[in-house]
């Protein structure tokens, strides 16, 4: 699956490239929105992480920081 194929409701896990404080490679979540285009054409995703409280703000990650789970 290419990064652009990820969409609302897809399951994802963090890769080794994710450097967000408090999150580690292998942490899982659900993509909440279609990807957003960023500077230089990079894609960004909002992901609700399983380990976070449902009322938490979603994590914003780049296309290289997540991969399909499963």
Residue whose pair of structure tokens reads 């080794």 in the numeric block: 16
In tens, the pLDDT along 14-70 reads: 999 998 899 999 999 999 988 888 888 889 999 999 999 988 899 999 989 999 997
Say what the pTM is.
Answer: 0.84
Whether 47 and 27 have beta carbons less than 8 Å apart is answered as no
Q: How many residues does the chain have?
A: 70
Give dist(CA 32, CA 11) in Å, integer.
10
Give dist(CA 33, CA 51) in Å, integer.
19
Write the CB contacts of 51 (distance below 8 Å, at least 6 apart in sequence). Answer: 27
């Amino acid at each position: 699956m290419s990064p652009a194929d990820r969409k609302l409701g897809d399951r994802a896990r963090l890769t080794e490239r994710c450097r967000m404080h408090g999150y580690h490679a292998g942490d899982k979540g659900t993509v909440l929105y279609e990807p957003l285009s960023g500077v230089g054409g990079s894609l960004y995703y909002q992901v609700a992480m399983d380990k976070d409280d449902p009322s938490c703000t979603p994590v914003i990650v780049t296309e290289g920081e997540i991969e399909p789970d499963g």
